[in-house]
Every structure is written in C-alpha cells, then in structure tokens.
Amino acid sequence: MTTQEKNAAADDAGSQARRGWMSLLAKAPEDRLMALWAAYGDSPAFDWLRQPETGAVMVRGRMGGTGAPFNLGEMTVTRCSLALADGTVGHGYVQGRGRERAQAAALIDALMQTAAAGALRQAVLDPLAEAMAEAREARAAKAAATKVDFFTLVRGED
Amino acid sequence: MNASATTAYGGGFTDPAVDSARAFRAAMNVMAKPGEIRDLATAQPPAPLSPAAGTLLLTLCDPETGVCLAGACDTPEVRGWLAFHTGAPVVGAAEADFAVGTWAELLPLDRYRIGTPEYPDRSATLIVEMDALEPEGATLRGPGIRESAQLSLPDAAALAGNAMLYPLGLDFFFTCGGRVAALPRSTAISEA
C-alpha cells in the first residue's frame, strides 16, 4: 500500500464514520438529542457559514428495497453549517423545522472531528443510538406480536 | 457573526434572501445602464476572486448554471466555495453560462456561447476581473444611456466586434474590488 492509498483508506473510514453520526443526528428525536447535548454542556464558540434554513427534500424509495427507485414524497429538512474557532467545519441536517436542533447537530459534527470526539461519542452519540435502537426494537416487537401467518392447504375452486 | 473568507466556505451572504435581492438589484441596474459603476461587495470570496465577482456568482448562479473558472480563478478553494454556496457545476468555456477571470484569462471570446437566432438568451455572461474601473476611455452609446457614457474597457475593439453580433453575443460584467459595471451586447462602442 502506498502512502496515498493509505490516506485514501483512512479518508474512507473517516467518511464512513462521519456518515454514521450524520445519519444518527438527522433521525434522532428532538427532545432526546437536545437533552443529551445540554447534559454534555460544552458548547464552543463558532461562526456561521450558513444560517439555519428550512427546505424540502425529495425522499426516494425502492419497492421491497430492490425495485426501481420512485419518489416517495417530500419531507421538511433544516440545515446549517458552521465553523469552530480552529476552522473545523460542521454541517447539520435534521428532519423537521428545529433550528436549535440543526445547530446542535452541526456542532456535534464539528466536535466529532476534533479531540473531543471520544467524550462526545460517549456522552451523546452512544446513548442516542441505544435509545433509537430500543425504540426500533420495541416497535418491531409490537408489530411482530400482531403478525398472522396465512397458508392454504387446498384451494376451493376445483 | 459571519465567518470571513479565511475559513473554508466562509464569506457567503449573512442573510441570503435580502443580500441576494440587493445584489441582484445592483447587477440589474448596471446592466440596464451601461457605464454606471456601483458598489457591490456583500460576499468575501476566497482569493483571487474579487468581492464584487464573488457576490455576482452567489447572486446569479445555481445548480443549473455552468460556471467556467478561467486561469488563476480555478483553485480548489474557489471550487469548494462555489459548490457550497451555489451548487453550480464548473464546466468548460463552451458550455458555460457564466465565466469569470481576468480579460487575458478569458480570451479568446469565440470559445463562449453567443446564443442562437431562435434563443439569443442561450449565451454566456462574462465576469471580467479588472485592475481598474473608471468612467473614462471608450465611449458607449445605446439603450439605457442618455447621450453617451464612458467606461475603461479592457479591449474596446474586441467588445465592439461582440456588439456587431447583436442580437447574438456575450454580455459582460466588469468587476474591480468591490465595484461593478456592465456592458450588454446592445451597447455600441467607439474608441475615445
């Protein structure tokens, strides 16, 4: 592996990890995220690159996860971008109209690229991921309890 | 509270709706009154773009307008800044809706689209970065000018040739620091 390839691989792993926390922050429930962020407590100074703005994005889906893509519908998204004092850029994209929440998401994204990443992951991202996994499992379990298996022994028409 | 151009992506509009409306008004007025020079320095783009050129790009470009960055303007910083704020694709001169650079970098002019007889609007607008922009030099006459106006043009003969193509041809913004002037294809140019 050349140095360049190593750098590219590291970049890939980095952007993979970043994709993970961006996804988590985008989908996180507002009250939970804000509570954890407030509990973390350390909100650094920053400059706006893009003030929070609300718009709509088209959500696309695939039937059964494998079919041809179709437009599922539009959803409201709020985004913002900011730079910390050391120049680290953070982007926040969250569902809904929460400007505070977009700002918190952008700050977390920026801080996750700094030395504060470990503490932040422990204080905010891990509990958030756990809570969301729990909620998902609870919902899946509730749905599974109502599952009905249909099967046909003999069809009546002949 | 807005970050300066020293940060990556910094120096955009603080209040995009109001800032871009004001900048559009200035751009429209200078184009409507060739030879008039106005202040236009809301944005702080990365070097070597001037504030006026950066503000024009933020105001006029979106994901559907191809931008040609000529010569020294084509830096990773400028590309990143343009993509972050406008989403405009960077394209070659032949597909460009807007081109930005110094006069020498933008030449030759016949690389750019001048429109078609059916659609003369499908032409490029050139944003020319100037060292100086003064109301002196070549004489301008035509729509939007009461008697005549004067503007320091980079190459009056080439621009007069462009005006000969009317209704086809290129339109020009001239930027110098935080000031802007314009020259539409409809203006007749004579040497001073």
Task: Give whole-number Cα distances, B172 to B42, B107, B129, B130, B163, in Å.
Answer: 20, 13, 11, 12, 11
Q: What is the pLDDT of residues B145-191, one digit of tens each?
A: 998 888 888 888 888 888 888 899 999 999 998 999 999 999 998 87
Q: What is the pLDDT of residues B105-141, one digit of tens each?
A: 988 888 999 999 999 999 999 999 999 888 888 888 8
CATH top class, domain B16-190: alpha beta
Q: Does residue A1 carry a pLDDT above 80?
A: no
The predicted structure's pLDDT at residue A3: 56
User: What is the share, in percent, of chain A residues with pLDDT greater than 70?
Assistant: 92
B16 contacts chain A (CB < 8 A): yes
User: pLDDT band at A119, cuts 50/70/90?
Assistant: confident
Distance from CA of B177 to the nearest CA of A (A): 22
| Residue A2, helix vs strand vs coil | coil
The predicted structure's pLDDT at residue B3: 44
Size of interface A-B (CB pairs under 8 A): 35
Do B40 and B23 form a contact (C-beta atoms < 8 A)? yes
User: pLDDT band at A5, cuts 50/70/90?
Assistant: low
Q: DSSP character for A121?
A: I
Q: What is the pLDDT of residues B50-85, one digit of tens each?
A: 999 999 999 999 999 999 998 888 888 899 899 999
Rounded mean pLDDT of A103-132? 88
Distance from CA of B70 to the nearest CA of A (A): 26
Of A50, A87, A89, the CB nearest to B12: A50
| CA-wise closest residue to A101 among A76, A134, A72 | A76
Q: What is the pLDDT of residues B1-22, one digit of tens each?
A: 344 445 678 888 888 889 999 9
Distance from CA of A74 to the nearest CA of B (A): 19
The predicted structure's pLDDT at residue B4: 46
Quick one: which H or E segment has residue B190? Answer: strand B188-190
Phi first, then psi: what are they for B100, rounded to 5°? -130, 140
The domain spans of chain A are 29-131
All residues of chain B having their beta carbon less than 8 Å from the beta carbon of residue A44 are none
- Residue ranges of A 62-121 with Cβ closer than 8 A to chain B: 81, 83, 87, 89
User: What is the share, in percent, of chain A residues with pLDDT greater than 90?
Assistant: 30
Contact assignment for A81 to B84 by CB distance below 8 Å: yes
The predicted structure's pLDDT at residue B1: 38
ipTM topping 0.85: no
CA distance A158 to A105: 63
A51 contacts chain B (CB < 8 A): yes
**Strand arrangement, sheet containing A89-95:** A46-62, A69-84, A89-95
The predicted structure's pLDDT at residue A156: 74
The predicted structure's pLDDT at residue B2: 45
The predicted structure's pLDDT at residue B13: 86
User: pLDDT band at A39, cuts 50/70/90?
Assistant: confident
The predicted structure's pLDDT at residue A8: 63
Q: What is the pTM of this model?
A: 0.79
